[in-house]
Every structure is written in C-alpha cells, then in structure tokens.
Amino acid sequence: MARCELSCKIGPSVLNADLSELHKESVRLLDSGADYLHLDVMDGHFVPNITFGHPVIKCLRPKIPDAFLETHMMVSKPEQWIEPMADAGVNQYTFHVEPCENIPQVCRKVREAGMKVGLGLKPGTGVSAVEKYIDLADMILIMTVEPGFGGQKFMTNMMEKVQWLRQNYPNLDIEVDGGVGPSTIHACAEAGANMIVSGTAVIGAPDPCKVIATLRDAVVNSIQKSQLER
C-alpha cells in the first residue's frame, strides 16, 4: 500500500485506567496530548484475561466522536468481531496473526468494513510470520510483553523485529506495546517504532501530558535523524 511520510503517534492504553470512568479517563488522555486511544480487547481464550468488547466501545464513541480508536484484538477468532467493532465506530482493527487461519481474508474484511488494518505479533512469533502480509496492512504491532496483562517488564530483544521492519519498510507504521515508558522509549525510537502504546507509565503518572511529551520527543528526534541519514 502507498504510505505517506512517517509521523509519530502516541496512543495510551486504557487497560490500567479506571474502567468505571472510561469516558473521563479517555478525555483526560486525549487532553494530555494522545494522538489516539489503544483499546485492549481480550476474550479469555487467546489470552487468559477478559476486558471489554464492542458494546462498551459503542457507548464510548459518541462521547469522544473525533478520537481515533484502535482496538487491539487479543482474541481467538478475530474475524468474528469485525462488523461489531466497525459498527461501534472503531477506526483501526489490529488483530494477531497467531490464531488467524486466513490472514488475507481478515485483512480484506476489515478494510471493507471501513477500518484500517493492524497485524500484531506476540513475543514468541518471528517477524517472518507477517512478512508476506505487510502490503495488506496499515500497521504492524510488535508486542514487547506477553499480551494479556498490563504492567509487565519491557522485552528489549523485541527491538530486533522493529529494526528489521524499519530497515526493510522505511515508511511502514510500526507500533510497540508493552512496558513502554520514559525509561524504554529510546530503545523503541532508535529501533524505528513510530506508534507508541504506553499504559502504566502514562495512566499512573501525576502529569500524563509530560510523559506523552517525553515519548513524543524521543520518537520525533529519531525520525528526523533517520531522515537526515537517508
């Protein structure tokens, strides 16, 4: 797919937010400088946890009509939830390749439903599993923790996947998710990630705006440096 010039995007995860106040928390994050919201959807099968699904997102959408919403579908049957999520107002549908039997078909259905396509990789899945599908996607998500729970330790060795993708696909949107915060952002940025999901580090911060700005500065500086080196 044709892609425009690379840009930095910060998308806080609401996983560790007060979900009873999801609207207020979402507005707080957006007001703090978030470019999009990363909504973790878990089914208790693909990962051993359960969060929320399309009914919650459909209730949230009218309250934040202009926000870009990405759903991270940690589910065993990603094809099952395409239409409900599109109906709920989701902008990007990111699903994992591991449980998916027909990745091209799911990508096509997501796009036909009017959403952008994201492909996710668990830590144990090599980048070769997604290589032949990159042209079908808008973004590749590299998990830097095992999906299913927030607050885990960042896996530095996952940056090798990010580096490979950036070297071979200079304009591809590459997202990292898991344990990302001020102490790990430079590794992500230097490897080539331009879409940053940060949960605990942003949600739990006294000043989320400052944390988001710190993440953004690191990524923007890295993008500018790589462009000068081309």
User: Consecutive 10-residue runs of the chain (230 residues): their mean pLDDT?
Assistant: 75 94 97 98 95 97 98 98 98 98 98 98 97 97 90 93 97 97 98 97 96 98 88
- Check residue 3 and give its pLDDT: 47
C-alpha neighbours within 13 Å on the C-beta side of residue 84: 14
In whole angstroms, give the CA distance from residue 43 to residue 154: 23
- Check residue 1 and give its pLDDT: 43
- Closest by CA position to 5, among listed 134, 171, 223, 166: 171
Q: In the chain, where are the structural domains located?
A: 9-229
- Check residue 4 and give its pLDDT: 54
Catalytic residue set: 40, 177
Q: Which residues of 94-127 are buried (b: 16+ CB within 10 A; e: fewer)?
A: bbbbebbeebeebbebbbeeebbbbbbbbeebeb
Contact (CB, 8 A) for 105 and 79: yes
- Check residue 5 and give its pLDDT: 80
Tokens of 196: 């940053």
Query: First and final CA of the chain: distance in angstroms?
Result: 21
In whole angstroms, give the CA distance from residue 12 to residue 26: 9
* Domain 9-229 class, CATH top level: alpha beta
